[in-house]
Amino acid sequence: QVQLVQSGAEVKKPGASVKVSCKASGYTFTTYGISWVRQAPGQGLEWMGWISAYYGHTNYAQKFQGRVTMTTDTSTTTAYMELRNLRSDDTAVYYCTRESQVGPTIFFAYWGQGTLVTVSS
Amino acid sequence: QSVLTQPPSASGTPGQRVTISCSGSSSNIGSNTVNWYQQLPGTAPKVLIFGNNQWPSGVPDRFSGSKSGTSASLAISGLQSEDEADYYCAAWDVSLNGWVFGGGTKLTVL
């Protein structure tokens, strides 16, 4: 079965960087892209960007361009999301999610368990 | 401020039918299909409806989706206590070249 297992919670100071990992299993890693979605406390879902696990091509939401880097390691079937220059409003649960496609429709079929990143001085 | 607009809350009694709306624009719902996600308290979201009105395996047909123009809606019939959750609509936005979500609707089963 498809599983996405994320790294543990992090506490960072403002201005620091965080790198969250997402270990994929149960499918051919390079067949599907991975998106990252975050959720601030008590708030809604926010898409941060996408990476092709095969080519490594990325598409970042404009809000995060210049501050986020998404990568994959096909040898370990792991995706990574690094967010730099952290601010207090980056405090959120960060999810990796794998897309699926049925005909022309793409949707987020599988989700990691989430990683809480707390930014506090 | 979310790109897609949902009511912040909805409620119903067991057995009732409730609907949740999602309003967008020509660059998202108007030109692409809508997916709905359910997020139970303390858990990751789960896809409920994709492609406006299709069910992933395992999702009961009490849940149904529809789309018209730049709006979509999720209907839940035969409401059950375990349906108490947050519900999010999502669509690809061609202008932003990315996924956009609604702000979420918290469903309370009275």
Query: What is the CB neighbour count within 10 angstroms for residue B83?
Result: 20
Is A34's pLDDT higher than 90?
A: yes
Helix, strand or coil for residue A120? coil
Measure the CA–CA gap between A77 and A59, rounded to whole angstroms.
19
pLDDT by residue for chain B (110 residues), tens only, comes to 899 999 999 999 999 999 999 999 999 999 999 999 999 999 999 999 999 999 999 999 999 999 999 999 999 999 999 999 999 999 999 999 999 999 999 999 99
Whether residue B39 contacts residue A81, with contact meaning beta carbons closer than 8 Å, is answered with no
Please tell me if residue B94 touches chain A, with a CB cutoff of 8 Å.
no
- d(CA B35, nearest CA chain A) in Å: 7
The residue of chain B nearest to residue A47, with distances taken between CA atoms, is: B99
Taking residue B96's Cβ as centre, other Cβ atoms within 10 Å add up to 15
* Residue B15: per-residue pLDDT: 96
- Does the beta-carbon distance from A102 to B51 stay under 8 Å? yes
Tens digit of each residue's pLDDT (9 = 90 or more) over A48-100: 999 999 999 999 999 999 999 999 999 999 999 999 999 999 999 999 999 99
B103 CB neighbours in chain A (<8 A) are: 44
Cα separation, B96 vs B24, in Å, equals 13
Chain B residue with CA closest to A4: the answer is B44
Token digits for A111?
Answer: 């989700």
CA dihedral in degrees (B95, B96, B98, B100; nearest 10)? -100
B35 touches chain A (CB under 8 A): yes
Mean pLDDT of all residues in A28-45: 97
Tell me, what's the pLDDT at B1? 84
B86 → chain A, closest CA residue: A44
Option in B54, B96, B104 nearest A44 (CB): B104
**Which pLDDT belongs to residue A46?**
98
Q: What is the CA radius of gyration of chain A?
A: 14
